[in-house]
Amino acid sequence: MTITVKFFASLREQVGKSEVQIESSDSLTVEQVWTKVCDNAPLPVHILMAVNKEYSKPDVLVQAGDEVAFFPPVTGG
């Protein structure tokens, strides 16, 4: 299955990529997607994530064709 992974804002610079596609024959959680794309680095606790443009939790299973996005916390005033 193919999964599109996107990184936004400061994460784009930290990870060194804005978008990547990964292939997996196994089902993956959002956290496992992060680990696979980020060279086995653990998912930081403050990172926000979304699957198909809806906020998600780390344990959500990703399906073929899904888009997973990671971004830093957002603040405003």
Is residue 6 within 8 A of residue 37, CB to CB? The reply is no
pLDDT at 26: 87
Number of CB atoms found within 10 A of residue 16's CB:
9
pLDDT at 76: 63
> pTM of the entire structure?
0.90
| CATH numbers and ranges of domains, the chain | 2-63 (3.10.20.30)
In tens, the pLDDT along 15-61 reads: 889 999 999 888 999 999 999 999 999 999 899 999 999 999 999 99
